[in-house]
Amino acid sequence: MLVLVLVTLVLVTGAGVVSRYLEGSPLAWTDEVAGYLFVALTFLGAASGVYRGDHPRITVLVDRLPKPWRRAADAVAVGASLGLLVVLVQYGTSAAFDATDVTMTSLAVSQAWAYFVIPIASALMAIFLLRNLLLSGAGLREAAIVIATSVGLWGLGSLEPTGIGIYVYLVGALFVTLLLGIPVGFALSVTSLLVLNATGLPLDVVPQRLFDGTSSVILLAIPLFMLTGTIMSSGGMAERLAAFATCLFGWIRGGLGIADIAASVVFADISGSAVADSAAIGSIMIPQMERRGYSLEFASALQAAAGSLGLMFPPSSTMIVYAWITNISVTALFLHSFVPGLLVAVSFSLVVYAFARRRGYPREAGLSAGLVLRTTRSSFLALLTPVIILVAILGGYTTPGEAGVVAAVYSLVVSVALYRQLPPGRLYGVTLEAALSASRVTLIIAAATLLSWVITTFQGPQKISAMLIGLTTNPTIMLILLNLLMVVLHTMLEGISTILVLVPAILPMMRSLHIDPIVFGVILAQNSALGLLFPPLGFNLYVISSISGVAVERVAVAVIPFVAILALDILALVLVPQIATALPRLLSLH
């Protein structure tokens, strides 16, 4: 079912592109249907993720508990998640029946089918949670904890926090749910549910806000570019990109590491996902670096850092979400991100070169015209992919989502028909992998949208803005303070969640201080990259640890030089915003 939803999403979005260019006008229904399919992809994918047990979560604390305590913590996490799912089934069903007589704007079709996805998927998630608990060997003690936790969620409604107590309660609930190992998307939603319940607000807003958080056409680009990246990784295109980068930079001492960075820059322009970048390029480059004498810790840290470049270059999913929240041009944000992103890539390369000289990491084959020609010929079709994406988006020919469809179809044709490294029999598995990866991200977006609405309901944006302006009205100092705040938030939330929670709160203050929202978006993307490298949440650390077999703690220590240089790059961008505006000014687009 999940594969069918993603394939249908590609076909529907593609139909809009074809209609606009062949018939001269877009189909009226494609955007609306695509938005509803995105909802289905998110929640059905979330159910599949629960079944597989692969939703991202923080396990630093839980993994260090004695086994009986760990079982108890897992039972609490299941109970809290079940309490949320009961709300989604109950109120989601009511919302679906209320929508039965409401037709779509573009088609004479009831909206109920889209709303019913939430209660159906939630019921499946509840079943899968209980299944996983039984398979883990849980006994009567764990069952009692699950029931007590689910019931206890309602008992917390008698607390009735007011004033500053609401925010203390919210932050405390968020910390506890994350540290208990509840998957991030569920933890954000449970936190919102706890606050709503404790303050007496109606719970029927929960499924409605989750629905609104995943029905945006702008966000369609995220699963579509993830599909492109997965096809390229499985079809040999990512491997060819890595070979091309090695050919260009291998002659430098530590050139294989620098090639890793260069390949990640190119792949970042395709997948839009830092985690996808880390997995695709890391699985190719880390073994090569180890064979060439690089320490496995350094190779792992390098790939974790290089993978974070996926947030800094178009079509970064982080930038897409930021543009959606702030209502600024995605194209303008992408254009402003190039020079700052390249600055970070060069900075990472300097770190690699310094370590290579100190540790004696080797050069690869010398640079020659024949080698460049052969490698370029082999990788040419793969290299065209980022060009197609950037021309389509920056040239205004397609929306980011439509560019994702074009890129996915192109990479599919090249991988299957031309390179012949992706057998048709593997397409189902590749599509399923992309759908699952996308749903893990989009569920967090939906949950963070709900939490952001809760914070806004209690006038969080106004209070935070007033507090920050009370500290300083200097735009530069304010940007430094905001970066420090984001670093703290990134220890609890991944980048997209931080954007959805923080940006609505600080937008009024940014406008009053005349801070350029586009430049701030670039800064925010780079700060989000820092979050990928910070324990306990840093997703890239866990992805690379699973690829290389190096413990997360050792990767976290080895990545410190890259974290430090990235922090300096962010500071440079804060102090010299012209770094971001240089390219748009050169092209007379600023």
Question: In the beta sheet, which residues pair with residue 110?
Answer: 103
Assess whether the previous peptide bond of 26 is cis (omega < 30° from 0).
no
Q: Is 104 left (phi over 0), alpha (psi -120 to 50) or beta?
A: beta
Comparing CA positions, the residue from 330, 320, 316 lying closest to residue 268 is 316
Let me know: does 59 contact 187? Beta carbons within 8 Å: no
Q: What is the pLDDT of residue 493?
A: 67
Give the separation between CA 566 and CA 575, rounded to whole angstroms: 14
Q: Can you tell me the distance from the alpha carbon of 179 to that of 65, in angstroms, rounded to the nearest whole number?
A: 12
Q: Quick one: tokens of 504?
A: 């609505």
What Cα–Cα distance (Å) separates residue 497 from each residue in 185, 203, 331, 453, 544? 9, 21, 22, 12, 22
> What single string gives the DSSP state of each residue in 384-414?
HHHHHHHHHHHTTSS-HHHHHHHHHHHHHHI
Question: Which token pair is 3?
Answer: 């594969």
Name the burial class of residue 143, with classes exposed (0-12), middle (13-18) and buried (19+) by CB atoms within 10 angstroms of its CB.
Answer: middle
Give kind and range of the element (H or E) at residue 349.
helix 330-359
Helix axes 140-155, 184-199, angle to 10 degrees: 50
3-state secondary structure string across 301-328: HHHHHHHHHHHCCCCCHHHHHHHHHHCC
CA distance 48 to 38: 15
Residue that is written with structure tokens 């629960």 in the block: 50
The pLDDT of residue 12 is 87
Distance between the two ends of the chain, CA-based, in angstroms? 45
- Asked whether the beta carbons of 438 and 317 are under 8 A apart, the reply is no
Peptide bond into 314 cis (omega under 30): no
pLDDT value at position 546?
67
Residue that has been written with the tokens 């019931």 in this structure: 151
Nearest to 401 by CA among 438, 427, 437: 438
What kind and span of H or E run contains 88? Answer: helix 67-98
Alpha-carbon torsion (99, 100, 102, 105), positive or negative: positive
Burial class (CB in 10 A: 0-12, 13-18, 19+), 424: exposed
- Please check whether residue 40 is in contact with residue 12, taking contact to mean a CB–CB distance below 8 angstroms: no
Best CA proximity match to 272, nearest among 313, 242, 231, 236: 313
**Hey, what are 361's tokens?**
């990491």
Helix (H) or strand (E) holding 166: helix 164-179
Per-residue pLDDT of the chain (590 residues; tens, 9 = 90+): 889 999 998 888 888 878 877 776 667 788 888 888 888 999 999 999 999 888 877 777 787 888 888 888 888 899 999 999 999 999 999 988 888 888 877 777 788 888 899 999 999 999 999 998 888 877 888 888 888 888 877 666 556 676 677 778 888 888 888 888 888 889 889 988 888 888 878 888 888 888 877 777 777 777 888 888 888 888 888 888 888 888 888 888 888 889 889 888 887 666 656 666 676 677 778 888 888 888 999 998 998 898 888 888 887 888 888 988 888 888 889 899 999 999 999 999 999 999 999 988 888 776 777 788 888 888 898 888 888 888 888 777 887 888 888 888 999 999 998 888 889 889 999 999 888 888 887 888 788 888 878 877 777 656 776 777 778 888 999 999 888 888 877 766 667 777 877 888 788 888 888 889 999 999 999 998 888 787 666 777 777 776 777 877 788 889 999 999 999 999 999 999 999 998 888 877 65
Cα separation, 563 vs 561, in Å, equals 5
- Eight-state DSSP code of residue 27: -
Tokens of 220: 């369609």
